[in-house]
Amino acid sequence: MATSRPDGRTALVTGGSRGIGKAVSLRLAREGVLVAVHYGHDDEAAQATVKEIEAGGGRALAVRAELGVPGDADAVWDGFDRGLVALGAEPGVDIVVNNAGITLPRHLADVTEEDYDRVFAVNTRAPFFVLQRALPRLRDGGRIVNISSAASRVAYPPLVAYAMSKGALDTLTLALAAQLGPRGITVNTVAPGFTDTGINPTLADPQIRRALAAASVFDRLGTPADIADAVAFLAGGDGRWITGHWLDATGGVRLGH
């Protein structure tokens, strides 16, 4: 699909080079948004995403910064600011998508203190300070979308620490929605369910794949594009009257149970 003409908006997508983040980056770029594709380590994946956007007529830049370490938020925004200058773009940001995160597939008894600290550093602390540093850059009428998980609203013991970290992110959405409403900025959460990102090794097992697909009322796994379309709606003009919302993007997982 060809990219539309640039519309003047700029977005930061954390974890934007693979999986759901890549789909969000591509989707926003098709809307004419200049996309900053943040990533942690995989230079090849980030450059491939940028080139794919450019090949479709869009504009993008890659921002490398490891999350979950001291100074991570400053590193993200320093790279973002420098990237805009290099492209001759106006400073500031209109859309921030907090997508980057790590999982921790362990029951309570098996979670170490190091595990716990790491998952919260990446999934909760990093987006908190990314948004704190975003505030002076975020234009009035902007959009913030936090990518959470259905695990924050259902009992799923094998992901207890991960679910807790996402639950904290859900609370951040509510607080910021109230704070930023006077500026016309919406803040929402999108919560995926079982999604085929291509980087989940358990989905290579046909039995596991089948069981997870059956959890949806549509009898299939979600795709990154399914999630990206939901994000794009909230990030666009049509989502202007929705804020503080937790959007179930699971395909009806556990519906009726």
Q: Which is the catalytic residue, given 17, 152, 165, 166?
A: 166
Nearest to residue 224, comparing CAs of 62, 58, 49, 77?
49
Q: What angle do CA 103, 104, 105 make, to 5 degrees?
A: 110
Catalytic residue, chosen from 17, 149, 165, 216, is 149
Identify the CA nearest to 95 among candidates 52, 37, 56. Answer: 37
- Candidates 99, 57, 49; CA nearest to 231 is 99
148 belongs to the catalytic site: yes
Catalytic residue among 17, 148, 152, 165: 148
Tokens linked to 54: 């450019």
| Given 17, 25, 39, 162, the catalytic residue | 162
Give 237-243's long-range contacts (Cβ < 8 A, gap of 24+).
239/143, 239/186, 239/188, 240/184, 240/186, 242/186, 242/188, 243/177, 243/181, 243/186, 243/187, 243/188
Which residues are catalytically annotated? 148-149, 162, 166
